[in-house]
Amino acid sequence: MPAPLTVLVDGRNVLRSTWPNLSEEEVVAGSRAWAREHDAAAVVVFDGEAPGGVVGERELDGCVLVGTGAGESADDWLIRAAEDMRRGGERFWLVTSDRALRAVAGEGADRVIGGGRFARELQRRV
């Protein structure tokens, strides 16, 4: 049986990847639905506060919501998480259109998906 899949989502990048922009709540709800459909875990990361004023990590059904607070950017959090997953031999996908982030955090990912493509997937679910 293959190892479980985690999808690391650059939340603000995804919400800005379509017009009209998705709301933060739509990104979270859509990511949760997408993860359930794909038997995966979603980790949705936002610079600063995540929806609901979350700073730090909060477990939701089928999703981990991360607000980085003032001390760290979402990009830095995602880079660190991807590195930890690579070292641990964990399977992950990265969702972002940020080229610099893709270059660093995408190394070792099973798949890298653009923010716009993922946003369109989410729009079908919310």
Per-residue pLDDT at 4:
84
Report the candidate in 52, 95, 101 with the shortest Cα–Cα distance to residue 73: 101
Per-residue pLDDT at 61:
80
Question: pLDDT by residue for the chain (126 residues), tens digit each?
Answer: 566 899 999 999 999 999 999 999 999 999 999 999 999 999 999 999 999 999 999 998 879 999 999 989 999 999 999 999 999 999 999 999 999 999 999 989 999 999 999 999 998 877
DSSP conformational letter for 51: G
Domain residue ranges of the chain, discontinuous segments joined by +: 5-123
Q: Which alpha helices (H) appear in 20-73, and where do they start and end?
A: 24-37
- Whole-angstrom distance, CA of residue 95 vs CA of residue 108: 13
Per-residue pLDDT at 94:
98
* Class of domain 5-123 (CATH, top level): alpha beta
**pTM as predicted:** 0.94
